[in-house]
């Protein structure tokens, strides 16, 4: 039977942890912001830009405390949990400002960082006192871990049924074919064997890997740790695969072995993250590479919609107040950000936000009913392109201008990573519903990966300015109300 995500013992432990947090920060409130994203959505870039802009009082016109002149500044501080790796902000910023600049490596584990923010409050009572202070704790974790959370409410049979139904879809034939062939050759009712379990797990992992490549852009394929095993690589908890339903299988059967390993994966891998980190968040941002799904077609769009709905159902949502936060944290604001807006001309940015809103429509209604707010924004935390236009066959086309990453190919050209080009990426349709209709009229966008911006400007104080698109709006939504 599926298990509840938390037990009574878990809830008591969470309440004690929250009380301890409150006691240690009795004089300085703390906001815990979770940052995650689906495959290649730009989590590291988002956090690096957030930290840099707060530390340097960057140009964030839409961030109200800064625009109103109330934001005093920020500094890095020691994170209270010494067992969690620190987010490597300095190294990531160095990658972006190197010669030549390059994008930092993506998230492969949980990490954290604490910023202490100082500001002048708008409230007249606080205005008579010293500047107010807020601890902003940023928790970075892979999106694959988030997509594993729905497993906590599923049995092995339920998960297997869903996974096999997805693998047998015609669109999955190329990726899933080898795994299904291995599965056909093994009887789940036979005596348990490590060799059979390893063969199935290896074939299933390869199927997951192929499904997440650029061409397919699929998102809802847990278990996520199969592709990020870390120290768990080769362990029984990561050596299982979905099996067809069985009736009356022997406790010594292969089916029973893999069922037990599935439960071990939930108990020893997924549940600790859920309990120790995920349930202690106040705000959450989920970064989404929606453009990739749009370019991959209807199957990928439907998959992304399913992924976002599953993600939203995982959050412990609800209104927060000072008393409730003493014993139980709930996420009261969730931002879904469609990243890489700089890969489109600005005329398509609003359309991208509208598409993301449509993908989240049903799940957002449930979140609002639970007392949580959700918002969708199309953004680029660090803008890699600028805009221009070209004339082709007498028609003026809006373009983006940037430096493609070395080795990429487009229209017979291989780029060297040094030369700027003017590039027409295509337009998103004005009618949002057309994206979701499998009528043969698919969205066709041209994609290239661009290097980070070169020759960054500097402010009057000498600090680097990181260009962005709508990033200020995202920052204001996530933390602006805590700095009033």
Q: Which CATH architecture has domain 8-141+277-383+468-483?
A: 3-Layer(aba) Sandwich (3.40)
Query: What is the rounded distance in angstroms from the CA atom of residue 443 to the CA atom of residue 429?
Result: 8
Which whole number is the average pLDDT over 458-479? 94
As beta bridge partners, residue 191 has: 253
Query: Which residue spans of the chain are classified as CATH 3.40.50.300?
Result: 8-141+277-383+468-483
Torsion of CA 267, 197, 175, 161, to 10 degrees: -60
Which whole number is the average pLDDT over 76-81? 91
Residues with Cβ within 8 Å of residue 242, at least 6 apart in sequence: 159, 160, 161, 163, 164, 167, 204
Which whole number is the average pLDDT over 115-142? 84
User: Does residue 124 carry a pLDDT above 70?
Assistant: no
pLDDT, averaged across the chain:
85
**Per-residue pLDDT tens over the stretch 197-229:** 999 999 999 999 888 775 455 566 789 889 888
Three state DSSP letters for 415-456: CCCCCCEEECCCCCCCCHHHHHCCCCCCCCCCCCCECCCCCC
Q: What percent of the chain has pLDDT over 90?
A: 51
**Per-residue pLDDT tens over the stretch 312-341:** 777 765 444 443 444 356 788 989 999 999
Q: Is this structure's pTM higher than 0.75?
A: yes
How high is the pLDDT of residue 13?
Answer: 53
Cβ neighbours around 4 below 10 Å, total: 9
Tell me whether the omega of the peptide bond preceding residue 223 falls within 30 degrees of 0, making it cis: yes
**Per-residue pLDDT tens over the stretch 7-63:** 545 544 544 554 555 555 457 999 999 998 876 789 999 999 999 999 999 999 999
How high is the pLDDT of residue 219?
Answer: 60
Question: How would residue 379 be classed by pLDDT, with cut points 50, 70 and 90?
Answer: very high
């Amino acid at each position: 039977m599926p298990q509840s995500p938390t037990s009574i013992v878990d809830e008591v432990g969470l309440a004690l942890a929250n009380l301890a947090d409150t006691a240690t920060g009795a004089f300085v409130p703390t906001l815990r912001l979770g940052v995650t994203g689906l495959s290649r959505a730009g989590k590291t870039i988002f956090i690096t830009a957030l930290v840099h802009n707060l530390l340097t009082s960057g140009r964030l016109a839409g961030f109200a405390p800064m625009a109103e002149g109330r934001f005093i500044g920020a500094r890095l501080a020691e994170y209270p949990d010494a067992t969690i790796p620190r987010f490597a902000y300095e190294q990531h910023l160095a990658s972006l400002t190197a010669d030549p600049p390059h994008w930092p490596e993506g998230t492969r584990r949980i990490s954290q960082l604490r910023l202490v923010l100082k500001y002048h409050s708008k409230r007249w009572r606080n205005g008579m006192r010293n500047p107010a202070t807020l601890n902003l704790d940023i928790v970075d974790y892979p999106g694959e871990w988030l997509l594993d959370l729905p497993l906590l409410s599923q049995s092995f049979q339920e998960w297997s049924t869903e996974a096999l139904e997805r693998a047998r879809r015609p669109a999955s034939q190329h990726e899933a074919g080898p795994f299904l062939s291995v599965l056909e050759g093994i009887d789940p009712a036979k005596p348990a064997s490590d060799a059979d379990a390893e063969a199935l797990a290896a074939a299933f992992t390869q199927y997951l890997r192929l499904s997440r490549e650029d061409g397919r852009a699929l998102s809802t394929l847990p278990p996520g740790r199969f592709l990020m095993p870390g120290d768990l690589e080769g362990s029984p908890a990561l050596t299982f695969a979905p099996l067809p339903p069985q009736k009356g299988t022997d406790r010594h059967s292969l089916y029973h072995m893999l069922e037990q390993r599935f439960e071990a994966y939930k108990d020893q891998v997924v549940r600790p993250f859920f309990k120790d980190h995920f349930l202690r968040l106040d705000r959450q941002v989920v970064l989404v590479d929606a453009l990739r799904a749009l370019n991959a077609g209807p199957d990928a769009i439907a998959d992304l919609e399913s992924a976002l709905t599953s993600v939203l159902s995982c959050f412990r949502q609800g209104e927060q107040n000072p008393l409730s936060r003493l014993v139980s944290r709930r996420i009261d604001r969730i931002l879904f950000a469609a990243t890489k807006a700089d890969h489109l001309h600005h005329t398509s940015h609003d359309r991208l936000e509208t598409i993301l809103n449509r993908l989240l429509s049903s799940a957002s209604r449930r979140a609002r009913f639970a007392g949580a707010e959700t918002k969708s924004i199309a953004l680029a935390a660090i803008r890699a392109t600028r805009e221009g236009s070209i004339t082709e066959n007498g028609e003026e086309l809006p373009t983006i201008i940037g430096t493609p990453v070395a080795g990429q190919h487009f229209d017979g050209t291989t780029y060297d990573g040094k030369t700027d080009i003017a590039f027409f990426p295509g337009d998103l349709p004005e009618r949002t519903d057309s994206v979701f209709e499998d009528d043969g009229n698919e969205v066709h966008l041209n994609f290239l990966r661009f290097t980070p911006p070169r020759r960054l400007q500097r402010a009057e104080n000498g600090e680097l300015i990181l260009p962005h698109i709508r990033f200020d709006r995202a920052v204001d939504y996530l933390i602006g109300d805590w700095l009033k």
